[in-house]
Amino acid sequence: MRTAYRVETVRSAEAELIARLPEDALMRRAAAGLAAVCAELLGRVYGSRVVLLVGAGANGGDALYAGAALARRGAGVHAVPLAPGRTHPAGLAALIRAGGRVAEDPFAVLASADLVVDGITGIGGRGGLRPDAIPVARAARGSNAVIVAVDLPSGVEADSGEVLGEALRADVTVTFGVHKPALLIDPARALAGTVRLVDIGLEPVLPSVPELESPQHHDVAALLPEPSGESDKYRRGVVGVVAGSARYPGAALLAVAGALRGGAGAVRYVGHAAEAVVARFPETLVHAGPPAKAGRVQAWAVGPGLGEDRDAVREVLASGVPVLVDADGLRLLDAGDVTRRTAPTLLTPHAGEAAALLGVAREEVESARLAAVRELAARYGATVLLKGSTTLIAEPDGRIPVRVDPMGTPWLATAGSGDVLSGLAGSLLAAGLSPYDAATAAAYLHGLAARIAAAEGVPITSSEVARALPAAWHDVRAVG
């Protein structure tokens, strides 16, 4: 798992290290790593033009020491102090000793820069760029220079990934010790560019439980169910899919398509589209309803294209097996029916549905996704998968890390893709995964399938995403 830690945790780990090391040792390590990435980006350091945007804190110090290292290798380095009188004194002295200078005209040096180092704010920044920094940041972005953010793009909130004002979009972010939540969560993540992690020796002093974790191929491979010699379809799990309506029969087909490729031994479809489902997927067991009379299942997925069938949602939530609720099911559910449950529940809203469940505006969820997913999970006592530009998965117990899906792709923003995800995650629940792991594996495989389907760079449909799921399993298993 890739992990991210909150500022408070990073600061206490740093304090522990600083106490054992000579003064400035950590900053020098950070700056050396930063200078190495800048040199790599420049290709030829000698004769290159570098501008340092320097704020009032240690983030500016990092930029100054890295600038000094580049100046020693022959780069022309200019510092632009944005908090004059509060510029890191030792860092500035090191830059001047190395032949760097303070810029007389920041806009002139920015116009001809090859590389700009953004050291305005790091983990100490709050509330977007300040007015003085905005024209300078815009000039940097408007130049042809590569922009390298120090630790974080300046102007983002480190712990939440929110962007409360203007921020400076980077091409590359060089972060120290460990990722911060803003580097994994939109909207901040989209401003970080490529993220490079510099080891400053922090790992051994960090707590074992991070704020966020983001799975990679081998993590997902370890979660996927594997049939054993004794497996029959019931032991592998039967997933009940309650989806589709006279108005939205397609949702039933897409949810079943996802469920058939999620590792359960059988898919039992319940609803008004039974005929269409069997015609397309003859391996499906079907039942016209109601869910309670459908026969044995190990998990339910309810909601895609369901229309107004409130009773079906209520009945499924009254069952003693894990339940996934999506789409119309989220609109129809009664909060008490969820909080009273003893078996686990997984809710899979997009930002609009999450906003309705929380009683806030959609923009509020989109701008503060981490807070929204945690609040929903706590309020409903359920695992929540919040879909979107960054898909997040939270447990009701706030001490458990929120998982961030790294596989999302804009290609998934296509009609019916959520229906495929519901079926897939429901199937993984029926196969015995916890809601947390089922949601994690489903989001990952779904994103990977979309990437595989869109490999030629052409638009894809949700049916194609479902068809690419076996290739996604294969890909994950091959590496895991």
Ligand X SMILES: NC(=O)C1=CN([C@@H]2O[C@H](COP(=O)(O)OP(=O)(O)OC[C@H]3O[C@@H](n4cnc5c(N)ncnc54)[C@H](OP(=O)(O)O)[C@@H]3O)[C@@H](O)[C@H]2O)[C@@H](O)CC1
The answer to whether 471 contacts ligand X (rule: CB under 6 A) is no
State phi, psi for 407 to the nearest 5 degrees: -95, -5
- The three-class DSSP label of residue 81 is strand
Among residues 149, 394, 420, 421, the one that binds K ion under rule CB under 5 A = 149
Residue 114: which of K ion, ligand X, none does it interact with, CB under 5 to 8 A by kind? Answer: none
Q: Does 160 bind ligand X (CB under 6 A)?
A: no
87 near ligand X, rule: CB under 6 A:
no
Closer residue to ligand X (CB): 59 or 284? 59
Q: Does the annotation list 251 as a binding residue?
A: yes
**Beta-carbon contacts of residue 93 (< 8 Å; ≥ 6 apart):** none
Nearer to ligand X, 65 or 380 (CB): 65
Rule CB under 6 A: choose which of 4, 13, 26, 286 binds ligand X. Answer: 26
Told to check if 150 binds ligand X by CB under 6 A, we report yes
Contact partner at residue 130 from K ion, ligand X, none, CB < 5 to 8 Å by partner kind: ligand X
When asked if residue 150 is in the footprint of K ion (CB under 5 A), the reply is yes
Check residue 308 and report its DSSP letter: T
In this structure, how many other beta carbons lie within 10 angstroms of the beta carbon of residue 419?
Answer: 30
Of 4, 27, 238, 372, the one binding ligand X by CB under 6 A: 27
Contact 109, 49 (CB under 8 A): yes
| In contact, 271 and 245? CB cutoff 8 Å | yes
User: Rounded distance, CA 442 to CA 412, Å?
Assistant: 13
Q: Is 214 helix (H, G, I), strand (E, B) or coil?
A: strand
Got the DSSP string for 18-79? HHHS-TTHHHHHHHHHHHHHHHHHHS--TT-EEEEEE-SSHHHHHHHHHHHHHHHTT-EEEE
Q: Residues 52, 98, 123, 370: which binds ligand X (CB under 6 A)?
A: 123
Least separation in angstroms between CB 27 and ligand X: 4
- Per the listing, tokens 């199937």 go with 427
Supply the DSSP string of 311-349, one letter for each residue. Answer: HHHHHHHTSSS-EEE-THHHHH--HHHHHT-SS-EEE--
Closest contact distance (angstroms) between CB of 72 and ligand X is: 19
The answer to the question of residue 176 lying near ligand X (CB under 6 A) is yes
Q: Is 162 an interacting residue with respect to ligand X (CB under 6 A)? A: no
User: Least distance in Å: CB of 154 to K ion?
Assistant: 4
Positions at the binding site: 58-62, 118, 122-128, 151, 154, 251, 305, 350, 387-391, 418-419
Q: Which positions touch ligand X (CB under 6 A)?
A: 14, 18, 26-27, 30, 55-60, 62, 120-130, 133, 150-151, 176, 200
Binding residues for K(+): 59, 118, 154
